[in-house]
A and B are shown apart, each in its own frame.
Chain A
Amino acid sequence: MSNFFEKSDLSRNDAESIISDTLQKCDDGELYLENSKSESILLDDNKIKNSSYSSDLGFGFRAISDEIVAYSHSNEISKNSLKQSSENLKSTLKSAKGVYNHEIPKSNKKYYENINPIDQKTLNEKIEILNNVNKYLRTKDNNVKQVTANFLGEQKSIEIIRSGGETLTDIRPLIRFNVTVMLEKNGRKETGVYGIGGRNSYDSYLKDDNWKNVCDEALRIASVNLESKPAPAGEMKVVLGPGWPAILIHEAVGHGLEGDFNRKKTSAFHDLMGQKVASEGVTIVDDGTIDNRRGSLTIDDEGTPTEKTVLIENGILKNFMQDRLNARLMKTRSTGSGRRENYRHIVLPRMRNTMMLNGNHTQDEMIKSVDKGIFAVSFGGGQVDITSGKFVFNCTEAYEIINGKIGSPIKGATLIGDGPSILKEVSMVGNDMMLDPGIGTCGKAGQGVPVGVAQPSILINKMTVGGTKL
C-alpha cells in the first residue's frame, strides 16, 4: 500500500482538515491520490527496441456543487500544493450552498489480488519470451517479414479521502501481452494482431507456453488477410462471431447508456427508459465484478463498489450506467461506474465489462440463413457519435457469406450502423458467449480506461458494409 504522506510535509490530518474545509458547502467531492508504476518492453524488427519504466504520482481534488464540478490536480503532494488547489476550488464554487452526501456503499468483495505484476517476473525472463516469440514466428512461416511483441505491466494504488476523513483504497494490477505479425507474399503485405491480458500476474496468462497460442492466432489472422479480396459495398446481413466483436455492443449502445449523456439529453437513448430498444431475447449487462478481468474494479474511482448492472433485459431498456454526480442529478444511485484514466482527469460514467448474454441459436444456423452477407470474426477499433447514434467498427478478419456458406476472406472494411435501431435488427442470438481476450481500451473525452466485452454469435438483419466492390 502506498503511503502518500510519508515523504511529504503534508500530514494525513492536515489533508483531512483541508478536504473537509473545502467541501463543507459542496454536495460531493473528494481527494483522489494515485501512485502508479508501469513498464513497457518492446521487441520489434528482431531487436528489443524499448525497455522503459514509469512511476507517476499525484492527486486530484474535486468539489461539486449542484451541476458544477471544480477540479484541480498536481504532482506535488505538499501542504502548499493542496492549499492552492483548495483555493482554486473555492473560488469557482463561491456560491455553493449544498449539503455534503456522506453516504457511500460498502463491500468486502475483491476481484483481484494485491500484486505488482512487474516485480513477479524478471526483465531477463520477459526478454527471453519476446525473443522466443520472434524466433518462433519467423521459423514457422517464411512469409513473416515483421514481428512486434510487447509486455505492458502496471500496478496502480489509489486512495480516496472524503470529507470527514472516510478513506477508501484499492490496488489494481494490469498486464497485457501483444503480438503483431506482418506477412509479405507476392508483393502483398498484411498484418495480424492478437493479445491477451487482465488484472493478474504475467505468468497466469503465459503458463504452458501460452504465448505460442497468441503467436499462432496473430499469424492465422495475417494469413487469412493475405488471401482476402475486396469487400463488398452496401447494405447486407452480418453474422458476428463471439467474444471481441462485442465492441459493436460497446459502441452501438454502451456509450449511449452512460449517465452523463442521458442527463444532458444528448444521447439518442435519453427518452427511451423502459421502452423496447432491442429484439426480444437480447439482454445486455455491464459487469465490474468478474475476477481478474481487464474491465473489473473492486471499487470505482469514487470509492463505490462495482456491480453487475443490467442495461437491457429481454429487449427493454432498464438502467443507465451512473457515477455519483449524474446519479444524484437524475435521482438514482451510482452503479459503481465512475472512472477516470488517472488523477489528471475528472470522473465520468464509463463501461467496465459490457456483455450480451446467451440466447439459444447456433452460429451454424445463422450462417445457413444468409443468402448474401458477411461473417465478421475480429475487429480493430470502433467509434460512435452519441448524438446521431451512428457507429462504426473496422473488421480485421471477415468472410463473405454466399447461399448459406462461408466464402472467401474479405479485406478490412468499416461497418456502419445506427445504435438505437441496430439491436432491433438482431434476429438470432447464439448460445456460444465468449469473453474477449483482455485487450480493450475505451476512449471518452480524451481519457482511456481498460474495458472488457463479451457476446455470443449474433445475426444482424442489415448493416452497411464499407467495401470498395459495388
Chain B
Amino acid sequence: MIKNQEYLLEKASYCLDLAKKLGAKDSTVIVSNSISESVNFRNKKLDESNRSDNLAIGITTYIGKKKSSISSSNLLKENLDTLIEKCIETTKNTPEDEFNSLPDKDLLAKEIKDLNLYDDTHIKNENKIEYLEKLEASATSDKKIVNTESSFTEDKSNFILANSDGFSKGYKSSSFTASSVIVAKDDQSMERDYEYTSKCHLQDINGAEELGKSAAEQTIKKLSPKKIGSEKIAIIFDKRIAKGILSTFAGAISSSAISRGTSFLKDQINKKIFSDEIDIFDKPDILKGLGSRSFDSEGVKTNTLKLVEQGVLKHYLIDTYNGKKLNLKSNGRCGGTSNLYFDNGNISYKDLLNSNPRCLYITETIGHGSNIVTGDYSVGANGFLIENGDFKYPINEITIAGNFKDMFKNITLANDLEFKYATNSPTMMIEGMVVAGK
C-alpha cells in the first residue's frame, strides 16, 4: 500500500521543525511515495515482473538569501537529522543570491480541485497477464512479426509539499500504461514500431486487441524502406512527433532560458512567432489529464494559460526564482508545463495529406538535434513518402533540418487533436524544410 497523507505529513513537519530549530529562516520539503508494478511479455510469454516501492524526500533550506538542498530515499529519523544538519551547514557556506526566496504567499494554492487523478483499482498480475496475452495474440497474426515485447504497468503515487510559510498540500495520483514494441522482418529489412496507451483510470485505457493490432500494422508498413535524395519538401509530422516540437517550444519559453539569455525566443513576448492560425494552451485542470495538477512544484497555484494567441507569444513559463530575476510574477510553471497542446487547425487530416502533391510523413525521429539557443533543428528520421494524399512507400536513413524560427511560421495543423500524452498536437505540416538523403 502506498503511504498515506498522515505518514508523509508527519515526515514533512518533522523536517520543517528541525530545519527551523537548526537555524533555517525558511524551508521547503517534499515527501513522496510511489509504487509501481509491471509485467512484461515477450513473444507471448511472461518475461519479467517488476515491483518498485520508492520513498523520496527533498529539503531546501534558506538562510537570508543563501540556499541549499538535499534529497534522500532514506526516511529514517537518524538519517534525516544528519542530512538536515548538513544542509544547513552547506547553506551557510553557499554565496548569497538576491533572487532566492520562497514563493509569494498570495500566489500559493489555497484549495485543491478534485481533478479525478486517482483510481484506487489494483489490477493483479494475473489480470495484467490476461491483458498482455490478448494483446500479443492480436499483434502476431502476421508471419512477418518476429518479436513482440509488451508491458503493463500500474503506478500509484502520493506526495506532500510543505513550506515554512504554512503551505502543506498533496494528493494521490495513478496511471495505468500498456505498450507493445513489435519487430517485423522481410527479405530486405527488419523494422520496429510501437503502440502505447496511458491513462489515470484503468477503465479508460485502450483495449488489448486494438493496441496489439495497431502496433503490428504500423511495424509491417515500415518494411522494405527506401532512401530518397536530398531536397526541399513539405513535411508532415505524425502526432507522436509533432508533440516533441511543442516540447522544444516550451523549453525555449521557460523563464530560466529567457533570464539566462540562452533561448532563441528571448525578447519575443507579444511578437508574432507562429502563423495567424496557431493557438497554444497549457491547461492544468483537465479532469483525469495526464499532466493535470493543482499547483506547481513550489506550491504556486496554476491557471490555464493561452501561451500563444493567433500566432503571438503571450506568456513565458515562470517560476519564483527566474520570475524575480525578470521582474515578473510566477505563473505556477516551476517544473514545466501541465497539459500543453496546440489547438485544432482548420483542415482535416485527409486534406492535410492532400495539400501538396508530394510530401514526407514522419513517424519517428532519432537524435537530440534541437538547439534552443540558436533554434537550429537537425534530426535523423523515418516515415513514408506521400504522393497525392496516398502513402507510397516507407523511407529511412534521412535527416530533416531547419530553424524553428522559420518552421514555427510555416506550421499548418489538422483538426485531429486528442489527449494521449501530457503534451499533445494535432497532425502537423511544415513546408520548406530540407531533407538530406542520398
A positions within 8 Å CB-CB of B: 7, 44-45, 47-58, 67-76, 81, 85, 88, 91-92, 123-124, 127, 145-146, 182, 184, 188-191, 231, 233-235, 264-266, 268, 344, 346, 380-388, 390-394, 411-418, 464-470
Contact = CB atoms under 8 A, between A and B. Distances in A.
Interface stretch (B131-139, B163-171, B396-404): B396-404
Interface residues of B, number: 76
- Tell me what chain A mostly uses at the interface: helix, strand, loop, or mixed: strand
Nearest to A234: B230
Contacts of B351: none
A182 B71 CA distance: 30
B186 interface: no
B87 interface: yes
Contact of B397 (A47, A72, A73, A418): A418
B49 A75 contact: no
Contact of B436 (A7, A45, A464): A464
Contacts of A465: 399, 436
Interface stretch (B88-96, B209-217, B237-245): B88-96
B378 A55 contact: no
A226 to B, nearest CB: 11
A285 to B, nearest CB: 26
Interface string B386-408: 00000000001111111100000
Interface string B46-75: 111111111100000000000011111111
A145 B369 contact: no
Nearest to A78: B76
Nearest to A264: B147
A92 B48 CA distance: 9
Contacts of A54: 70-72
A11 to B, nearest CB: 17
Nearest to A411: B376
Contact of B93 (A70, A73, A124, A191): A124
A189 B262 contact: yes
A388 B262 contact: no
Given A72-B52, A266-B183, A268-B190, 11 more contacts: A52-B70, A54-B72, A85-B51, A233-B399, A344-B54, A391-B366, A413-B378, A464-B397, A464-B399, A464-B438, A465-B436
A52 B50 contact: no
B378 A388 contact: no
Given A55-B83, A392-B379, A467-B378, A382 B367 contact: yes
Nearest to B76: A7
A466 B191 contact: no
Nearest to B433: A468
B373 interface: yes
Given A381-B367, A388-B382, A390-B366, A414 B48 contact: no
B94 A127 contact: yes
A385 B192 contact: yes
A181 to B, nearest CB: 11
Contact of A235 (B68, B396, B438): B438
B368 interface: yes
A390 B373 contact: no
B357 interface: no
B125 A91 contact: yes
20 contacts: A47-B97, A51-B68, A54-B71, A55-B70, A55-B74, A55-B79, A57-B79, A67-B42, A70-B50, A75-B74, A191-B262, A231-B401, A233-B436, A234-B229, A384-B366, A385-B364, A391-B366, A392-B379, A411-B376, A418-B397
Contacts of A47: 95, 97
Given A47-B97, A394-B367, A470-B232, A123 B380 contact: no
A91 B126 CA distance: 10
A358 B10 CA distance: 61
A71 B48 contact: yes
Interface string B90-125: 100111010000000000000000000000000001
Contacts of A48: 94-95, 97
A412 B369 CA distance: 8
A71 B49 contact: yes
B231 interface: yes
* CB-based closest 7 A-B pairs: A466-B399, A392-B380, A233-B436, A392-B367, A387-B192, A92-B49, A234-B230
Contacts of A191: 262, 373
Contacts of B42: 67, 264
Contacts of B47: 67-69
Given A53-B87, A123-B90, A189-B373, A416 B401 contact: no
B225 to A, nearest CB: 8
